[in-house]
Every structure is written in structure tokens, then in C-alpha cells.
Structure 1
Amino acid sequence: MGMHTVREGRFRHRRADLVYDDAGEGPLAVYAHGGFVSQAIEDRMGLFDWEPVLDAGRRLVRYDARGHGRSTGGAVDTDFTYPSLADDLLGLLGHLGALEPVAAMGASMGCGTVLHAAVRAPARFSRLVLLIPPTAWATRKAYAQGNRESAETVEREGADAWLAAKRQQPRPAFLSDVPQLPPTPSERILPSVLRGLAMSDLPPPAALEALHPPALILAWSDDPGHPVSTAETLAGLLPRADLHISRTRSDIRTWGGRIAEFLTGPRP
């Protein structure tokens, strides 16, 4: 994290040890990563730049989700649903002793995690940053079916077969040089992660319409797993949302600065 010292922490929550990186000083901002990766893998992919958030005087805590990266987890399908992952995020806030509402940020699976946590405990959150929102509602059914089939592939042929199939799926051209790295959940847990995500969806529209923290939605185009339709629907439902859609890699590089500005600016 550049000039900022990173402290590693961990805590026990619902049969798992969850590991987090804690850097910077100031008001707390927490970040939840996407499915199948980890903090270290996201850093290797080089898509999201957190330096501007730290430079803007924020304490940034990024954690490895249950069963991902350094965090442990069991092969229990229901442990990997968005509401369960949201419970882990709320557990982290409790562990950190967060008394004031915090800024919560999440990408893809992490976006689902943050929205479910905010719906369950709205008073805990001051602002929301939703990066590459995943398939939801109308587009979720096909995704869920694909995940259930992927879980069977892993059980039958192993994680490498799943990864090989994943590499054949279309990706936005601007992500062509981003490495597709092996999943961090172990082969034993991976089918449960896939099935848990297949059982998940974003909160219902009425619940999102009642969420009042300001939200910044950052999406990119041409990615069926993170369709612009989800981002646009979220922007229409959340009472105080700004939406930005990137179509190039250089525009994605502006996200760190956009997030820092959103977190430190006056409340809209």
C-alpha cells in the first residue's frame, strides 16, 4: 500500500478465522472483495488503486472473505450466501469496535455483501461504494444455473477444469491483460462457494429504496457477469446514488480518486 504501513489482524466469527489488512489513520472505510479472489490476488490483478483513499485520511480495512485467501471456512453452502457474508462484515465492524457509522465498499460478491449488511443494519453505514455490481434479479437466474453446474464440474473433474471453462467465457477487451488466477477457495470449499452464490441475490427493490446513505456506483461495460443493467437499476432504486460507467482501462484507473473524493466530500 505504498507509503502506508499495513497491519494484519484476525478474528473468529461463526466457525471461521477472518483475516484483514488494516492501513492508514482516520475515519474507517471497509472493503469486501469479489468472489474467488482475495486481497493479495486483487492487488496482483492491479485493477483497483486504494492509495488515494489512504492519502485522503481514511483508515482502510480490507478483509479476505470466509473461505477465501487467508481466511478459513467450511464446506457449507449457506455460509457463502450474501446474507451470511453480510453477517461476517457486521462481525468485522463489531471486532473493530466501530462506534460511528462507517463507509463500506464492495466489488461484485462484496457489493452484494455490503448491500445486505446495509439493509440489515442501516445505522452502521455512512456511505456505500458499490463496484462492479453483479448479476441480480432478472439476470441472476442464468448465473445461478451456471454456478450450480460449475460446482458439479469441480466435484467431478477438479478446480482446474472449472478454471479452464471460466477462461473461455467472454471478458471485456479492456481486461484482456488482467491475469485470470486460480480461485483462492480450496477445491474442497469451492463447490460450496459456488452454490452459496447461486442461492444469493441482491436485496429486493423495496429494501434498497429505503436505504439512505449516499452511494457511489462504479461499473464497467461489456461484462455479462457484471451487467450495466444491475448498476443502472441500483442507481434508480437507491435514493442518493451516483453512477459512473467505465469503458476503458484508463477510466477504471480514475476509480481510486473518485472513491476518495466521494468519501471525503460533503454529504450530498
Structure 2
Amino acid sequence: MRGFRWPPPPDGGPRTWGPGPGAPRTGRPALPEPETELVATPHGVRLEQLVTGAGDPVTVFAHGLGNGIATTRPFGSGVAGRKVFFQFRGHGRSEAPPGPWSYLDLARDLRAVADLGNATRAFGASLGAGALCRLLAESPERFDRLVFFLPAALDRPRTPAARSRIADLIEAVESGDASAVADVVSAELPPAVRNTPAGWAYLRQRLDHLLRDGLAAGLAALPDQAPLGDRAQLAAVTAPALVLACAGDDLHPVEVAEQLAAALPRATLHVYDRPGVLWSERADLRERISGFLNG
């Protein structure tokens, strides 16, 4: 049986165990990363951001734990107006003030970037969805439209499986061992993608960012916390919301998405029938997000 291994061959592979094609495999060269900037915030933490597009409306995109600008940019494809992508504290080039941190700290990061960019719409993935919930509990009328992708926690901490995965990722990044980081990150990929050129390209991008920028130790306490004390705090949110989940995703249980959709007065819930929708349902996902935000 062919399995995963790291590092990939220098000619761009992938290579697999056992007999099979062995000729060099080439691919398109990676596009250069766009230039980001560090912005000062009112709460004293400089955050890395990237602004694309032009005009109104303005949408802010909040990423998941251990991810960042590169992994949230695909969600903005097709979204009209200006798009503001940023890195939470402890990610990328954003500063990492002394921890531990809470979802309130993340909500402050999100609010600062949204306010500086005059954003009226917000997208939150996983950890970013939790930070967005925390912000809305304080300011329920802050945004006109909301998208929550794979919410991971609401008024209870994340599952033990999720906490274990995040702890493994932080430990691997701290070790500086590319192979160890690759082993953890590869679990983000559907099995059918893990040993393909697209899968290797994703792994290379993630490893480049994680090993270059690291992950702050202050992030380790977040999986043990819940964004809200009570989901009823979201009852005053008046903006239309789209909640997206995947059946079978142990790190982002459908139950959390269902609870979030029920707590938001004007929410629409869509559940995909399997995980890995960025790979298997990319076009549908893009159309749902852009159609909702552009609507």
C-alpha cells in the first residue's frame, strides 16, 4: 500500500512506496506571495494583514487556529468589493503579546482590523468563527452579513480530539522538525488528496509558513476555552448569517454548527455530506459564500 512520507523528492514528486511511475514530475512554479503589511491597533498589538479588491462592501476574513491569510484567501474568491485578510496574534508576522490569551483577545484583534478597514461583513473559519461570535456577543449589530465556516466551539470548549490535534501541531512547530509538522498537517487533507501534486503543494505552503513564522505558545490555552458563556448572547444579532458545516468532521462537529444556527435569529445552515469540501466541493462552496455575501 502506498503511504505518505516526507520530505518529497526534489524534482517535485510525489514519490510513493512500491512500484509505480518513477519519472520526474514537474508542475507550475509557485506564485509569489502577495506583500502584506503590519498595522497598529488601538489595543497595542500589531497585526499582519492583506487587502485585495476595491470598493464597497468591505469583508473581513478571520482564519482558523494554526492557519492564516493563505488559507482564508480562497474563501474570498468571487466576493465583491474590498477584502481584508489578517493574521490573529501569534500567527504569521502578527505580534504575540504575553499570554495566555482568550477569545476576548481574538475578538479585539478581529474588531480592530474590521474597524480600520471599515468592514461591514465578516467571515470566520473555525477559531475565527469563535472570535466572531465573541465579538457579536459584545456588539450584535457590528456587521451587515456573516459567514461561519466549520465553527468548532460555541459555549463549550473544543472536543478532546481537536485539543489533541492542536497540541500536536504546536509541539511539532516548536520542534522545528519539518517531518513532524508534515505528519500533523497532512491530517487536514482528505486521504485521496494526500499523495497528489495538489496535496504536496498544500503541504509545502503550510510548512513554509509554519516553520518560517512559528506559532506562539499563547495559543495553546485556547482549545480549553469556549467563545461564549451562553449561546443565548447571540439572540440580539440581526444580520443574516450563513453557517457551513461538514458531516464527519471530528474537529468541527455538526452539532456546534446546528447550535450556532439556532442561536442566530436570521441564520441559514448548510451541511455538506463529507469533510474536505475545499477539495471536493470548492466551486459550490465559493458560490455559496460569494452569493450570500454579494446578495
TM-score (structure 2 length as normaliser):
0.70
- CA shift at 1:11, angstroms? 1.8
Q: What does residue 158 of structure 1 align with?
A: 175
- Please list the CA deviations of residues 151-184 of structure 1 after superposition, one character each: whole Å capped at 9, or x if unmatched: 99569x8364973673586865466464453473
Please provide the CA RMSD for this pair: 3.2
1:254 alignment partner, one of 276, 279, 284: 284
Aligned identity (percent) is: 29
> What SS does the aligned partner of 1:184 have?
helix
Whichever of the two has the greater Rg, that structure is 2
Count of residues paired in the alignment: 247
* Structure 1 counterpart of 2:52, one-letter code: A
Q: What one-letter code is carried by the residue in structure 1 that aligns with 2:88?
A: A
**Residue 48 (structure 2) pairs with residue 22 (structure 1):** no
The Cα of 1:84 is off from its aligned counterpart by 0.8
Deviation digits for residues 118-157 of structure 1, max 9, x if unmatched? Answer: 12112221111001111444562525763796599569x8
Hey, what does 1:123 align to over in structure 2?
141
Distance 1:197 1:75, change over 3 A: farther
Name the one with the larger strand percent.
Answer: 1
Choose from 41, 48, 51 the match for 2:77. 51
Give runs of aligned pairs for residues 1-268 of structure 1, distance below 5 A: 8-13=36-41, 14-24=43-53, 25-42=55-72, 48-53=74-79, 56=80, 58-78=81-101, 81-96=102-117, 98=118, 102-137=120-155, 140=158, 142=160, 146=164, 150=168, 153=171, 158=175, 160=177, 163=181, 166=184, 172-173=190-191, 176=194, 178=199, 179-180=202-203, 181-182=206-207, 184=210, 190-202=216-228, 204-246=230-272, 247=274, 248=277, 249-265=279-295
For structure 1, which runs of at least 5 residues remain unmatched after alignment? 1-5
When normalised by structure 1's length, the TM-score is 0.77
* Structure 1 pair 167–7 and aligned structure 2 pair: CA distance change class (3 A): closer
Distance in 1 between residues matched to 2:98 and 2:181, nearest whole Å:
19
Deviation of residue 69 (structure 1)?
1.5
Distance 1:239 1:172, change over 3 A: farther
The answer to whether the 8 A contact 1:221-1:227 is kept is: yes
More divergent stretch after superposition (101-110 vs 8-17): 8-17
Deviations 1:194-213 (A, max 9, x none): 21342343452211233221
The change in CA–CA distance for 1:144 and 1:204 in structure 2 (over 3 A counts) is: farther
Conserved? CA contact 2:52–2:82, under 8 Å: yes
Provide the residue aligned with 1:3 in structure 2: none
- Secondary structure of residue in 2 paired with 1:16: coil
